[in-house]
Each structure stands twice: as structure tokens, then as C-alpha cells.
Amino acid sequence: MSHAQAVVRPTQFRDPELDTSGEIVGFYPREFYVFDNFSSFQVEWRGRLWPTSEHAFQAAKFFDTAPDVAEKIHQARSAHDAKKIAASNSEKTPDNWGDIKLDVMTEICRAKLEQHEYIQWKLKDSGDLEIVEDSPKDAFWGWGADRKGRNELGKIWMRLRDELSQAQ
């Protein structure tokens, strides 16, 4: 698949007035799925090797409040299972999670980037295009059903791309 095939055209998935650049890089064309937390890139973070960044993120919710849940998440067979375990224990999420979750996600994504040259290459390959977590299911981390979501995960990857280019 060429870079041009992996670039999501706003006219396909998004109202044209929401995107002025003409092109965005979405997570779900296979070529850029590496940015997704469910992608199968292990990440060493806070002294442990996590099967995916989703495992690490979901477990982080419970480090202080329910270490047993964090361990179950670490052992989960898939990123989807990790997310389900976290959701079924949401009452144990710390009160300040909303205040710290962006920093936690940034830490995990930065670790993933630093540990995988392929992800560094893909991030450089995205050029200066907007990176969008193009899921209709999440308007906080992605663009949501109406494609007007906050896209916080895409913003994290764009900030990391800026850091990567400044370091070189």
C-alpha cells in the first residue's frame, strides 16, 4: 500500500469544511494503524513490558487503587480484553484520572515511539498532515461519530512528531 492510499481523504469520511488541509492521516488505513493503542507493538513502561499501549493505559487507571485489576489487565489476552476489564472495574478508577489521563497517554505513546524505529519512520512518513484517530466511537481520543471530536490521541502523535523532528 502506498502512502497515498493510506491517507484518508476528508471527502470520504469527514465533512470538507472540518479539514482545511485537504488530507489527513487516519489510524485505520492499515499503513498508519501503528498509532492505534490496539496495534501489536509491545511497550516497556514503568518497569514492565506491556503487550500493547492499550494494556498499559488501561492498567494505569488502577496502579494505586486496585493493583489486582492492573495485573489482570497486564495478563489480558488482547487489547480489547484489557479495555473490557478496565470498563468492568470503572468504579475503582481514581478520582483524578480525568486530570492525569492525557499525561499518562503521552508517556505511553512516547515510550512506544522511542522503542520502535518503525513507528518513528511512520510518524516521519506522515509529513505535516493532521493525524486523526478516525474512530466514530470515541469523541475524546478520536474524532467521534460526528467527526468533530477532540482527537486527543491524534494531537499527542502530532506533538511527538514535532519533538522527533526537532531532535533531528
| Over residues 73-100, mean pLDDT | 98
* Domain residue spans of the chain: 34-139+153-167
CA angle (127, 18, 104) in 5-degree steps: 60
Q: What is the pLDDT of residues 115-150, one digit of tens each?
A: 999 999 999 999 999 999 998 999 999 999 999 999
Question: The domain 34-139+153-167: what is its CATH number?
Answer: 1.10.357.40
**pTM metric for this prediction:** 0.86
pLDDT attached to residue 28? 77
Q: Which of 158, 156, 164, 62 is nearest to 105 (CA)?
A: 156
43-45 and 48-50 beta bridge pairing:
antiparallel
For the cut 80, the answer to whether the pLDDT of residue 47 exceeds it is yes
pLDDT attached to residue 25? 87
Grid cell listed for 40: 501489536
DSSP string covering 2-16: -HHHHEEPHHHHS-G
**Residue written as cell 513490558?**
49
> Do 134 and 13 touch, CB atoms closer than 8 A?
yes
